[in-house]
Amino acid sequence: MWSKLLKIALFFILGIATLYLVFYTQQKQYQGDLLQSMWHDVSSANLFYAGLAAAAFMLSNVLRSLRWHLLLAPIGCRPRLVNSLGAIMIAYLTNLAIPRAGEIARATVISRHEDVDFDKALGTILMDRLIDLICLGIIGLLTLFFAYDRIMGYFETHLDIGNMLFSTRMTGLMLFLAAMGLFWGLLFVFRSHWKNHRVVVKLTGFFKGLWTGITSVRQLRQKGLFLFYSTGIWFLYFLMAYLMFKTLPATAHLGLIAGLVVFFFGSLGIVFPSPGGMGSYHFLAIQSLSLYQISGPAAFTYANLNFFTIQVFTIGLFGILSMVVLPLYNKSGKPS
């Protein structure tokens, strides 16, 4: 228990430290009262568009639930929308406390309320995230295509940072591959000693179920509908970033390409292992806005409005609501 609490505390410390570093950097560059300027921007913000962005986010989760149904169907699970949507919202809420733990929470919730094994459900969720990764890659290519000059100009200015990050990642990748090679080599050499062990047998069964869930994508019957849901999810994500431009006078004039740029780099920030992308999202959103001469309080306020509207308020509200509603909705137990 204490180790889990320590891990949660460390993630929050990481997120808060990153957010403070971003704030400190912005304060140093602004040479004024950043908090006062931010409060002025927030007090004059058009929260109607923030509400539309939150609605777009929830609609994207409905589409994600429906897409998940298509992955679950080949393994014999036909969940109710309330359960699948609730599991997704609880997963997002869990990620605010323990990054990347949401997938486990989502599989746990759906297996508790629907007729599906945890390992198979987790397999479909991993496939769901892999598809998201492919979609993010496509968004990255589109972003580079439409904003090539601005992005390349930024990296030319920050070339040393880019080289440092690339070098660090390559070193980490090589060490990871070497460790994995050693691990699998030892498993192969001593395979006769462990293959019949009860723990290994149990793990083998778990991974077989996991693989069944992952490969469910090959048995999709409605591939066109699956593509439609995937496109809709990511279009709504983009729309959220664009709608949030309209909340502030300083960003209201920005167009669709700027929305694409901020959306893509902000998405990379959310992937970072901090609560909901706290700090890392702010940094990348601010840097991408600087490509359009939006900096200082306006950029920081935009990042905060977006983060707190979606990651804190919307996810917090519907995540907690799902935790309360699902047990009541499923009082009769799993469907037979």
Determine, yes or no, domain membership for 140. Answer: yes
Q: At 172, is the pLDDT very low, low, confident or very high (cuts 50, 70, 90)?
A: low
Per-residue model confidence (pLDDT) at position 183: 57
pLDDT (average), residues 70-74: 88
The number of distinct structural domains making up the chain is 1
| Contact predicate 263/237, CB 8 Å | yes
Determine, yes or no, domain membership for 303. Answer: yes
Q: Where are the alpha helices (DSSP H) in the chain?
A: 2-30, 34-43, 47-72, 81-97, 102-113, 118-146, 148-157, 159-189, 191-194, 198-214, 223-245, 256-271, 280-290, 296-306, 315-329
Determine, yes or no, domain membership for 145. Answer: yes
Determine, yes or no, domain membership for 74. Answer: yes
pLDDT (average), residues 301-305: 85
CB atoms within 10 A of CB 134: 11
Q: Is the pLDDT of residue 200 over 50?
A: no
Q: Largest alpha-carbon pair distance within the chain?
A: 69
pTM for the model: 0.76
- Give the whole-number percent of the chain exceeding pLDDT 70: 64
pLDDT (average), residues 28-46: 55
Per-residue model confidence (pLDDT) at position 95: 82
Determine, yes or no, domain membership for 18. Answer: no
Q: At 74, is the pLDDT very low, low, confident or very high (cuts 50, 70, 90)?
A: confident
Determine, yes or no, domain membership for 29. Answer: no
Give the amino acid at 94. T
Per-residue model confidence (pLDDT) at position 126: 84
Determine, yes or no, domain membership for 234. Answer: yes
Q: How many residues does the chain have?
A: 336
By residue range, what is the domain housing residue 311? 34-329
Determine, yes or no, domain membership for 2. Answer: no
DSSP code per residue over 5-49: HHHHHHHHHHHHHHHHHHHHHHHHHHTS-HHHHHHHHHHT--HHH
Question: Which is more confidently placed, 216 or 289?
Answer: 289
Whose tokens are 């060490």? That residue is 175
| Contact predicate 187/180, CB 8 Å | no
